[in-house]
Chain A
Amino acid sequence: MSDAIVIEGLTKHYGERRVVDSVNLRIPAGCVYGFLGRNGAGKSTLIKMLLGMVQPDAGSATLLGENTRELSPAMRGRIAYLAEGHPIYRWMSVGEAALFSRAFHTKWHDHFVDGILDHFAISRKAKIGRLSNGQRAQVSLALALAPDPELLILDDPTLGLDTVVRRDFLESMIHLIQRSGRTILFSSHILGDVERVADRIGILSSGVLRVDCPTEHFKMALRRVVLEFVGSVPEFPRCQGLVSQRQHGGKLELVVVGYSEEHAAIAESLGAVSVEVLEMNLEDAFIAYTRGPARPLPSFEREMLPC
């Protein structure tokens, strides 16, 4: 399977701060990739570098085989990009926005636009500026889909949308995912959304890509381990896979990547009277993995598994 997105050592500094740090990533064609990270983790900057909106300080990337520093107009026509906040000209009506966007594409499917507008009861005469955030998001998606792009890059598309609208937006997205061969990269803060649609996830933490694996793999690999002690609670020694530890009364709660016999042996040597290994849902796993101050985190394996 060919790669729709290839990122090699992409790095960006803003002043002294390294916002994106030597990111390497390959996203196969047809994959739905969810990009996660806390605010300021570097998700938007990485996406903007992919689209040539931000110039990288080092590294390179290709989209559908073309270097992102010099994306040709023809290649841009094959890629849909929804920027954060769905910026469209607010003074335009929906119809004018569609006409404006259509002027740049040789291939344009009006029925995509009509279908979404009809489904969400959005009039073509309505001014973009008077639409709700959710309606604007749907119009953005409709305009992005009309040229039938091969690759969709969505920067936090559900940001600021209420639960119902978010669900509608995701359903539109799922519907479009069902069209074969289309690759989607989207960033989000909402783990439930990612869990619903992504085959594979990447987690950026302080600009470093810590996780790149199938969604299920991430959920399965991260475990909450509760150790119970009688008397004083010792500190768990730093070891491979340990993400965090917190003390609650006589209990020590660990978050561990790939809990193994080695971890169990350490727990036993510390004198734990009981060891409870718990599964975590994606949201809990993500929070546990990224909570707290910036620090080195155990990375997940990055082998490319088929989506």
Chain B
Amino acid sequence: MLKALVWKEFRELMPLILLTIIAEFALVCTAMGMQLGLSSSERGEIPFIGTDLSAFIVTVPAIFVCAMALMQTWWESSRGTFLFLLHRPLPRSEIIAAKLLLGTVVCLIVTLLPTFVYALWAAAPGTHASPFDWSMTDSTWRQCLAIPVLYFGAFLSGMRPARWFVSRFFPLAASVAVFLLQISAPGGFVPLLVAFGLAVDAYFVWVIFDVAATRDFS
């Protein structure tokens, strides 16, 4: 049953996942090209430092995870298919868990994979004319690992009933604030921020299950 649910979610999200991966790798290739001087842009940027494209490699999945979460919830609700899905003989919590499970895995893959590919390329000797140390990627990893909070915030925004359009997005707005706090705080606060981020993630997941159990699907 869980397999069928996960397959359905994956098939539904596949076009969006493919589009994002293509955009991500286009950005990675552009970043590599800039280092090699193949791009018309100014060359000589140090990977993961300064104004290179690694920032965009995080921005694209940030937008993607929000779109994905809204597709999994709001879209399902607006097409009326929640009524079909939730009547499957399976606990509602398992149906929501399958959505969240697939969403979280996709979110991490889409976020971490391009960064990892870019970092591997940057770490390989002779690929570019600038120094590289893995510690230079810390900030980008931190940004990547902060992205799930956006996913859970957007998922909750799509799940919860709201009287008007703007109030629906309050959870997403809160998750954006947490995300910005996590990526912009000084390095010394990293363990604290990671713990805070995980706590917020857990809170969002708890509220998602609570909303799914109590809201009206009309």
| Chain A residues within CB distance 8 Å of chain B | 44-45, 48, 51, 53-55, 73-77, 79, 81, 83-85, 87-92, 99-101, 103-105
Contacts and interface: CB of A to CB of B under 8 A. Distances in A.
B218 A48 contact: yes
B218 to A, nearest CB: 6
Q: Which 9 A-B pairs have the closest CB atoms?
A: A103-B4, A87-B80, A77-B89, A83-B83, A76-B89, A73-B89, A54-B216, A53-B217, A104-B88
A100 B218 CA distance: 23
A89 B218 contact: no
B8 to A, nearest CB: 6
Nearest to A51: B87
A45 B90 contact: no
9 contacts: A54-B216, A54-B218, A76-B89, A83-B87, A89-B81, A99-B4, A101-B88, A103-B4, A104-B1
A87 B88 contact: no
Given A83-B80, A87-B79, A88-B84, A45 B218 contact: yes
B86 interface: yes
B218 A53 contact: yes
Contacts of B83: 48, 53, 81, 83, 87
A122 B8 CA distance: 22
Interface in B161-218: 214-218
Nearest to A153: B87
B44 interface: no
Interface string B1-19: 1011001100110000000
B216 A53 contact: yes
Nearest to B8: A100
Interface residues of B, number: 23
Contact of B89 (A85, A91, A104): A104
Contacts of A87: 79-81, 83-84
Given A83-B80, A103-B3, A89 B8 contact: yes
Interface of B: 1, 3-4, 7-8, 11-12, 79-81, 83-84, 86-91, 214-218
A95 to B, nearest CB: 13
A81 B85 CA distance: 11
A51 to B, nearest CB: 6
A104 B91 contact: no
Contacts of A44: 218
Contacts of B8: 89, 100
A151 to B, nearest CB: 12
B85 to A, nearest CB: 9
B212 to A, nearest CB: 12
A88 B218 contact: no
A84 B91 CA distance: 22
B12 A89 contact: yes
A233 B198 CA distance: 78
A76 B87 contact: yes
Contacts of B88: 76, 101, 104
A73 B216 contact: no
Residue picked from A44, A84, A91, most chain B C-beta under 10 Å? A91
Given A81-B87, A104-B88, 18 more contacts: A44-B218, A45-B218, A48-B216, A48-B217, A51-B87, A53-B216, A54-B216, A55-B216, A73-B89, A83-B83, A83-B87, A87-B81, A87-B84, A99-B4, A101-B88, A103-B1, A104-B4, A105-B89
